[in-house]
């Protein structure tokens, strides 16, 4: 099997890249180890930056997002029983974010790829990327599905370029020699206990709350489904928390002033899980003709809502560079891919780290640490410059 661009992974990054290349008349093949049902049900991010929304629309994948997504023009910070709203459009010249779950983005892109795009092979496990430093890289793979006789048989996808969108545990990053790799990471001593609940959201925008008991977040998936999170110690078993205990703890951490009539809406919990928190960057994001994108190259704690959006920035950068190369023969943008992406990645890492350390209470926090957190929140609440920095970072870094 041959193609121009081999794409490993059918998450939002790999699928969007395939769509962008298809629209530019460039062929690709997408290899995905899981089946379609699993891919379309993976619960991940739900906040789309302005740039991500614009890219999905221009790629022809925004119709349902525009119909069902929820535009948000701000977030609320809550601490010491105080509430402070950040007005995104007023601080950024009109930018906003959209609540539209990653599962829905993936469903839209899968449908487009199967209807109009090149091969999208589910249940196809990439085993290794070979020859990344040559002009003929290859991806060895096996299929669990497919036509009779294909299941279990090892095959090869010959490419001109390979883009690894296969996440932290995929094979792509392993093809970059250790001698040229640098890794930067931080693991946090807490995670997020998240629930999905069949109840209308308790607020019409996201609420980020810092309390002496730890962090809490009010989010949503739709006007009828709430997504809520609690900071818990690393390694917590979600089953150790009863539904009632989760609601009670949310109530405590989101407490407002006595004269505030805000209430927490409670309802049936339909899903419960714990998300670990870490920051991770692999440099470089390119080796020869292998390009890393999304979680294959970087991970951010979810506090800044950056993971999916960073992945979109990566594949937009690659697609623009590759189209430029095809049209002009000039490889300068491809050669600059890693540096271009990493500038955006490190800004997102900075913002996500700042939000995480401002809002979460470390298990070894001192009174000094607590006062610093409050001072950082007070600065945002009283300084337009600090507010503007948060709003600009939250609504998204340029893809240019």
Known catalytic residues are 72, 208, 302, 306, 394
**Long-range pairs for 125-128 at CB < 8 Å and ≥24 separation?**
125/31, 125/33, 126/8, 126/31, 126/33, 126/166, 126/170, 126/171, 126/172, 127/154, 127/171, 128/171, 128/174, 128/175
Alpha helices by DSSP H, 59-167 = 63-68, 88-92, 102-116
Beta bridge partners of 232: 191
Phi, psi of 336 (to 5 degrees): -90, 0
Per-position b or e across 95-118, b if 16+ CB within 10 A of its CB: bbbbbbbbbbbbbbbbebbeeebb
* Residue whose tokens read 């890794």: 183
Q: Is 124 left (phi over 0), alpha (psi -120 to 50) or beta?
A: beta
C-alpha to C-alpha distance for 306 and 347, rounded to whole angstroms: 10
């Amino acid at each position: 099997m041959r193609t121009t661009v081999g794409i490993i992974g059918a998450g939002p990054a790999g699928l969007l890249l395939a769509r962008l290349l298809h629209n530019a008349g460039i062929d690709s093949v997408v290899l995905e180890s899981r089946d379609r049902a699993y891919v379309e049900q993976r619960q991940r991010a739900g906040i789309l930056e302005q740039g991500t929304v614009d890219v999905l629309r221009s790629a022809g994948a925004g119709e349902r997002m525009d119909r069902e997504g929820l535009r948000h023009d701000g977030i609320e910070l809550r601490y010491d029983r105080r509430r402070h709203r950040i007005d995104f459009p007023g601080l950024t010249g009109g930018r906003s974010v959209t609540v539209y779950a990653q599962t829905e983005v993936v469903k839209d892109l899968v449908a487009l790829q199967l209807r109009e795009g090149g091969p999208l092979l589910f249940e196809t496990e990439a085993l290794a990327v070979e020859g990344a430093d040559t002009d003929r890289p290859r991806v060895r793979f096996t299929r669990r599905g497919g036509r009779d006789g294909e299941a279990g048989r090892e095959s090869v996808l010959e490419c001109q370029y390979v883009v690894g969108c296969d996440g932290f545990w995929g094979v792509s990053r392993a093809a970059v020699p250790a001698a040229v790799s640098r890794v930067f990471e931080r693991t946090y001593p807490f995670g997020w206990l998240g629930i999905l609940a069949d109840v209308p959201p308790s607020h019409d925008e996201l609420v980020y709350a810092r309390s002496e008991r730890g962090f809490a977040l009010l989010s949503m998936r739709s006007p009828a489904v709430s997504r809520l999170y609690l900071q818990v110690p690393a390694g917590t078993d979600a089953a150790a928390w009863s539904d009632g205990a989760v609601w009670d703890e949310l109530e405590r951490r989101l407490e407002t002033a006595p004269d505030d009539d805000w209430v927490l809406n409670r309802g049936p919990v339909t899903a419960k899980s714990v998300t670990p928190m870490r920051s991770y960057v692999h440099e470089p994001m390119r080796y020869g003709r292998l390009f890393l994108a999304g979680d294959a190259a970087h991970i951010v704690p979810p506090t800044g809502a950056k993971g999916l959006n960073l992945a979109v920035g990566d594949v937009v950068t690659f697609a623009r560079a590759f189209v430029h190369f095809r049209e002009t023969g000039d490889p300068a943008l491809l050669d600059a891919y890693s540096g271009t992406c990493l500038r955006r990645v490190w800004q997102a890492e900075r913002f996500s780290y700042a939000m995480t350390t401002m809002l979460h209470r470390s298990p070894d926090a001192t009174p000094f640490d607590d006062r610093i957190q409050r001072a950082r929140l007070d600065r945002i609440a009283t300084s337009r410059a600090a507010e503007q920095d948060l709003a600009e970072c939250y609504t998204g870094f340029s893809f240019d």
